[in-house]
Structure formats: C-alpha cells, structure tokens
Amino acid sequence: LDDYQLMVEGAIRPGEDEAPIAFDQGDDVLPDVGFDTFDVAQTALAGAADGAPFLTQAGLDYLWTLDTAPDGSVIGVTLNPLFDAAADPDADFARVVERAPFGAPAASDWYERPVIRNKVFKDVHIPVGTNALFENCTFVGVTYVETHTDNTHDAWRYYGVQNEDLSLKYPPLPDASDAQLDNDYYDATIIKPASFDVPRLEVAGTRYVDTKPLSNNIRFHDCLFVGSVVADKPDVYSPVRNKLAFTGATKFYTQHPDDPEDSDLNPDEADEDLIAQSSLMLPQYSVDIGTNNASPDQDVNLQGLIIAGVLDIRGNTTLNGALLLTFDPRTTDPALQHFGQAVGNPANFNITLGYFSPDQGDVEGYSIFEYNGQQIVGFDLDGDGLPDTTNPGDGGTPIPFNGYGKVVLNYDPDIEMPDGLIAPIDIEPISYTYREGRLSASSPTP
C-alpha cells in the first residue's frame, strides 16, 4: 500500500460497478515480466544454434591463450598472431583497441579486440571471452552469445579494467592500488576496512583477476543478421562486461534480402517460427544500437520484439516491432552497489532513444561548437574517428557534427510473442500526457 500511495496521486474514478483498486491480482491480469520470463524461449533458441563450431566457421585454429601470473591467476589473454595483420584494412583478421561503450565521451573500460571481417556464420555459438569486433559479417539463423553466468563476485566489474594504453586501471600488488578488489590486494602494511572481506574470484578451481575472458562485450559493425541473436543470461546486470553494440549499416531480416532461396544464407525452416518471435533476446544484457554523432551512413534496422536488459538507441535506427526491457534497477541490486554499499541511481538505468548535447540536458552527449566555420564535436587524436579533446591546440583532426540522426519506432500489433509472455503487448496513446522541454538559467520559475 505504501508503494502504491507513493506512485499514484489524485482521485481514481472507476467506471460503473468497478472497484477503484484491486490488490493481489494474478499474472493473468498484471503479468510480472522480468529477466527470467523468457527462459523457455531462450532455451529453444539456444538449441537452434547447432551449426559448426565458431572457430571452424571463422577459419581459426584458436582465438587466444590465457595469460597467468606466477601464482596461476588468470591476468588476461594473448590473441592469436593472425590478428596482427593490421596493415590491410580489408584483411579478414586484425586487432583494434577501442573504448567501451563505443563512441561514449567517457570510457568505462578499454578492450583490445580481435577484428573478424567478411565471414558468414550460421547457427553459431560465439564463445565466452571472444570480445570481438565483427565487420561486414553475415550471421544466419540463431547467433548465440556465451558468457559465464555466475558473475556475482563483488569485484566482477573491476577485474581487468584497462586504460587506453592497455595498462591496468586497478593493478594487482605489489604495485600501488587505491582499489579494494579482493583480500589479496592488501599486504601487511595496509590495514583493511573492518567490513571488507572479499575472497579472490575462482572459476572451476582457477583464480581470476580479469573477468574479460569470462564475459562477452562485442560490437557488430556493418553486419547482416538473417535471424536472431540470443545470449546466456548472467545473474547480475554488468554493462561493462556483458554488452552487445550494433553500429554502421547493420540490418536484421528473417529472410536474406538478396538470396532468399539460398539455404546457406537463410535460417533452417524448422527454426523460422522461433526466429520470428524476436530479433534480439538478450535479458540482463546491455545493448547499444548506433552511436553518438553517428555517420550519416548509419542505418540500423531491427524487426520483431526486442528484449534486452537496458537499451540505448542513437543515430539513424528503425525498429519495426516492440521493445521490452527486463532490468529492474533497485538500490538493492548488485549492479547499483559497491562492495555491498548502495551507490547507483536507479534513474540512470533506462531506455535511451536518441541523444542531445550536454547543454540540452544529455550528459552522455557530445558538446557541439564551431571551429573554422564548421560545427564539430571535438578533435580525434588517435585515428579512431571519435573525439578525444575539445582543445584545438592538441593537434587532433576535427570531427564534424553529423547531426543527431533519427530513431523510428513502428509498433507492430501483429508480431509473434515468445514463450513467457502470457498477454499481448498493446499500446494505447493518451493525448496531452507527454511533452519534452529543458530548463535554462533564464527560464522563469513555473
């Protein structure tokens, strides 16, 4: 009752012979949609990802090898030397260092990604720890992204965080570190807080101080999906580690746009009904579609019911279907805590449709300013096409402002629902209940 009174104000005027309030209603009246709602549908899609192993389809003998410290703790990975062929931009394999989230003004982490180009994958499992950039690849049928689901360790999001030069942001002892990552980060000269007791992470008997090999943070650029993407469901929402980003001219179809009769480029007939239910089934995952200041060539297209933990859509993007987000942010959730202490703001975990500049209220957007008669968002210092500074004296390349793009949501009332939803999704617009605006220093007090 207390929660209800905090969220509802004013009089409730029911119709004739209707009660103003009804409590303890069942799921048939008020469905409880959460990250475990789609377990059945997720399992079914996972079973459809039954193609050849990922390495076989990618043309690799291995992706990386684990790096370990003298005590046996996993401290990172070393990529296959095939990814060293960085000179040719059209080579099938390369490597790149890029910020995460990609295109964000401030990076939460940096990844050394293997780059995989020009490949066709069908009904493939992308192994845990791939953390790749896929460019100009085609994914047919069901693409299943693996991750280690037991990610409840208090330091999960901090293990392995890097700076742009790939040095560790939180280095292990004996280097100095102001971060409380686990008990082993302290030595006899450091007095631990009385409330701090975090054992080192162990998985299958192996100790880890880097969780990147146990997660999957992947970007798909200019890729074609003829089917669906589904992922393992981690226990804790961890956007730094478990994130999928779709950029460039990435598109989703249920049938190949150019070769609808080619069995190698189209889903198996037995899987078509499952695929029709959802283009993306990614509960507990962070999903980014498009980027800030995206190229005018960006044209991401999505079909069907899109299921994600938290979703950001920026740039030119079209969705024909519906959105359903499963992450329910609360201060008691580990995603909003720092070693058991509530630190996060639930309001920051929401759906983002489009973006603006900071002076218009979007702290995640780029500032826009004029330089030599051109509107720009900053200067690129490292050649990745993203602004690194707003100071022209730093000698970078000006990055033009490409516009905010356009996000189009076309609701489809006839889309098929995956197992787990016991009621149809319906939208009833109520006129005059929403408007946008911004506050400024000169605005009169309402």
pLDDT value of position 268: 94
Concatenate the DSSP letters of all residues of 19-66 into one string.
Answer: -S---S--TTTS----TTTTHHHHHHHHHH--SS-HHHHHT-S-SEEE
Confidence at 266, pLDDT banded by 50, 70, 90: very high
- DSSP category for residue 162: B
Which pLDDT band holds residue 249 (cuts at 50, 70, 90)?
confident
CA 252 to CA 199: how far, in whole Å?
Answer: 43
Break the chain into its structural domains and give their ranges: 39-360, 369-400
Helix (H, G, I), strand (E, B) or coil at 123: coil
Per-residue pLDDT tens over the stretch 159-213: 999 999 999 888 766 666 666 688 887 666 667 777 778 889 999 999 999 999 9
- At 170 the pLDDT is 83
CA distance 390 to 81: 36
Which residue type is seen at 225? F
What is the spatial distance between Cα 112 and Cα 158, in angstroms, rounded to a whole number? Answer: 16
Q: Which residues contact 176 (CB under 8 A, 6 or more apart)?
A: none
| Contact predicate 325/311, CB 8 Å | yes
Res. 138 pLDDT band, cuts 50 70 90: very high
pLDDT in tens, 288-313: 998 888 888 888 888 888 889 999 99
Write the CB contacts of 317 (distance below 8 Å, at least 6 apart in sequence).
Answer: 289, 290, 298, 300, 301, 302, 405, 406, 407, 408
Confidence label for 87 from pLDDT (cuts 50, 70 and 90): low
Contacts 24+ apart (CB under 8 A), 77-83: 77/129, 77/210, 77/212, 77/213, 79/112, 79/114, 80/114, 83/114, 83/115
Residue among 425, 371, 377, 431 nearest 399 (CA): 377
Predicted confidence at residue 187, as pLDDT, reads 65
Question: Taking Cα atoms as reference points, which of 223, 221, 241, 222 lies closest to residue 231?
Answer: 241
Of 77 and 365, the structure prediction assigns the larger pLDDT to: 77
| Listed range (32-36, 128-132, 199-203, 364-368) with the worst mean pLDDT | 32-36
